[in-house]
Structure 1
Amino acid sequence: MSATSLEFLDYLRDVRRLSPHTLSNYRRDLVSLEQWCQQRDISDPGDLVEADIRGWVSYLHRRGLAGNSIQRSLSACRALFDYLGRHHGLPSNPARGVRAPRSPRKLPRTLDVDQVNRFLSTGDDDALVLRDLAMAELLYSSGLRLSELVAANIEDYDRSAGLITVTGKGSKTRTLPVGSMAAQAIERWLVLRAPAAEDSAGTHPLFTSSRGRRISQRSVQQRLRLLGRRGGMDRDVHPHMLRHSFASHMLESSGDLRAVQELLGHANIATTQIYTHLDFQHLAKVYDNAHPRARRSARSDEEET
């Protein structure tokens, strides 16, 4: 990578304090831009103009990248040129007016309430299963991201108040309620959790592996998939599916989009609005099944017979 890009990534890590995952994405996107420039003998980012950025976007699109992925690449590109403008005097941002091609919006996969209850009703006294149930209950109860669940420490959980404080994207913290079923599941797990378990930083992770170390994201994904199979689920259950289900059920019951936005930790309410489409799908299904005129094709079939 160029010295300028490395300087920018250091800024994102040390000043903006972005997560390693986000930094990895930024690095990948900037490498893609630099490789595209090298193929065209462009060595200085300051030489790029809007037409060049559009050419890069077209190149990404031809390679089959989805609109969302291209939008993320553009975000990294814009952020780099903003940084160069502030710290190196670049006069303009050539990526500012470029937009990614739109791609069909995929609705998140969720479980209905009965499926959630079946998934969380696995009965077992095994310590690891009780831990898995506690993690699943907390994901669904409070709408946590996988990274937030894994990073949670015992001291973040206020047992008396029924609250947990987590650190989300952009190092932003928020405090969330923990439902009674999740609280009970966590208490059952804490009785069995190794009391001396701590990570290399000296903190005390809320959820630990069988070796007493902080559980990894990969392990949580595998254990929830196994929990679902043991419970006879007809699909694999992953952590984000429980977060999506939390959001969908909360919005369906309350109708309070702003509250759900706060609980999920979304910076932009447009991100939360996708769950209104899920609720509309439910209403449309009810309509199709219940309204006499919506079942016209079925009636026509009966008349023909």
Structure 2
Amino acid sequence: MSNEKEQHRSRLYDRLPRHPFYVEEFIDDLEVERSPTTLLNYIYDIEVFFDWCLREGLVEGPGYKDIPLSFLADLRLNEVNSYIKYLQIERKLMPRSRARKVSSLKSFFYYLTHRSEDENGECYFYRNVMNKIPLPRVKESAAKRADNISKKILHGNDDRELLEFIENEYVATLPTTGHYNQYKKHRERDLAIFALFLASGIRVGELVSLNIENLDLHDQLLSVSRKGDQQDLIPFRPMALPYLNAYLEKRPMYKPDDKEQAFFLTLYGGSGRRMTSRSVQNVVKKYTSAFNKQLSPHKLRHTVATKMVEQGLSPIDIMQQLGHSSVQTTSLYTNPGLDARKKKMSEMDS
């Protein structure tokens, strides 16, 4: 398990004692099939809901442990709708973010009404108010979704131009010698991060979880830990090889001890430690902002998916490369029907 997953598991266990026993049982029920990150997000989402209930005076008590099962069993539809309005109006969450919080509550209530057991072998209660709550829908067609993604990714040769910018032109944007020294120290590592993202389409969590043994540079293969700790083997583009080899030559500069097998390192306390997702996100944001195309690791992933479609790879191939659970997710990256219509409409003027 990567350091980041260990940190998330630690945070999860730190927070659980604040909660009633039935929340701990809910997490325990899912622990085998869900990652620590997913379980921690469940806890965060439940806490947002519990905080709102306590703030609104729907239940008495100073803390989460004071929220009885009977309160959840008797929760009314109008109260849940008020909570969703709170997410929308006061917290200003977009539909996708609201949907995630509602989905977490749906999973929580499903456990309480279908999988829990009291001393008599019965579920804690059977009335599930969350069954009456639809997930917030994003009113967006496949064409609109694909177009929105297209505006926020790299196109054509932009991926290679970005690597060239980081390697040769970024230095001209630096304001001080201190910034230059930091750039020079980490340049090979940062280039390798971008190259591997653009050559494989892996997630940021998958990238930071990589150990040295997970990269086969000879056959250009990665052994990645997918969601749910599922192990997978995927190819990456040869264009990443010179950047990965250059970083490997410089990796000893981070002074990792013999036990540190993480591929991507950062300096912490004078020695090399595994990078976190947050630190990689900051690296990506820093360089792409200077490139006048502020991106996230997820947008780099979108870039790879779109290029794979343009190269004629099948939806199944793309699904397997990106680790999607369904072809439907893959179809959101592009909309061939829209592209075909645009071409036909243009031909009408020729």
Q: Normalising by structure 2, what TM-score?
A: 0.71
Aligned-residue offset at 1:154: 0.4
CA 1:12 to 1:223, structure 2 compared with 1: closer, same or farther past 3 Å? farther
User: Is 1:57 the counterpart of 2:93 in the alignment?
Assistant: no
Letter in 2 for 1:205: A
Alignment of 1:226-237 (within 5 A): 226-228=286-288, 233-237=291-295
Contact 1:164–1:175 (8 Å) recurs in 2: yes
Q: Is the 8 A contact 1:61 1:70 kept in 2?
A: yes
Q: CA deviation at 1:55?
A: 3.9
- Per the alignment, residue 267 of structure 1 pairs with 325
- Are 1:116 and 2:150 an aligned pair? no
Distance 2:339 2:272 in 1: 43
Q: Matched residues, percent identical? A: 26
What does residue 18 of structure 1 align with?
35
Q: Per the alignment, do residues 159 and 286 of structure 1 end up closer, same or farther by CA in structure 2, a change over 3 Å counting?
A: same
Give the structure 1 partner of residue 211 of structure 2. 153
Conserved 8 A contact 1:5-1:30 = no
Coordinate RMSD, CA, aligned: 3.0
CA distance, structure 2, for counterparts of residue 18 and residue 98 of structure 1: 26
User: Secondary structure of the residue that 2:157 maps to in structure 1?
Assistant: helix
| Whole-Å separation in 2 of the counterparts to 1:110 and 1:246 | 9
Identify the match of residue 349 of structure 2 among 293, 296, 299.
Answer: 293
Report the Cα distance in structure 2 between the residues aligned to 1:74 and 1:241, rounded to whole angstroms. 25
Q: Quick check: 22-31 or 236-245, which moved more?
A: 22-31
Is the Cα contact below 8 Å between 2:260 and 2:273 reproduced in 1? no
Q: Distance in 1 between matches of 2:332 and 2:301?
A: 13
Change (3 A) 1:206 1:103: same
Structure 1, unmatched stretches of 5+, are 295-305
Letter matched to residue 138 of structure 2: S
Q: 1:153 Cα shift? A: 0.6
The 1:186/1:218 distance shift into structure 2, 3 A limit, reads same
CA distance in 2, matches of 1:81, 1:171: 25
Post-superposition Cα deviations, 1:246-297, rounded to whole Å, max 9, x if no partner, equal 00110122251122111111123322221123x5565566566x43539xxx
Q: SS of the residue aligned with 2:325?
A: coil
Deviation at residue 203 of structure 1 after TM alignment:
4.0
For the pair 1:48 / 2:75, whether they are aligned, the reply is yes
SS of the residue 2:136 aligns to:
coil
Aligned residues: 288
Q: Establish whether residue 95 from structure 1 lines up as the match of residue 130 from structure 2.
A: yes
**Stretches of structure 2 lacking an aligned partner (at least 5 in a row):** 1-17, 60-66, 118-122, 169-182
Q: State the AA in 1 paired with 2:247.
A: W
Q: Kindly indicate whether the alpha-carbon contact (under 8 Å) linking 1:197 and 1:204 is maintained by their aligned counterparts in 2.
A: no
Match of 1:3 in 2: 20
Question: Structure 1-normalised TM-score?
Answer: 0.81
Structure 1 pair 284/221, CA: closer, same or farther in 2 (3 Å)?
A: farther
1:135 to 170, 181, 193: 193
**Equivalence for 1:188:** 246
Alignment of 1:230-249 (within 5 A): 233-249=291-307
Of 266, 272, 275, 1:212 maps to 272
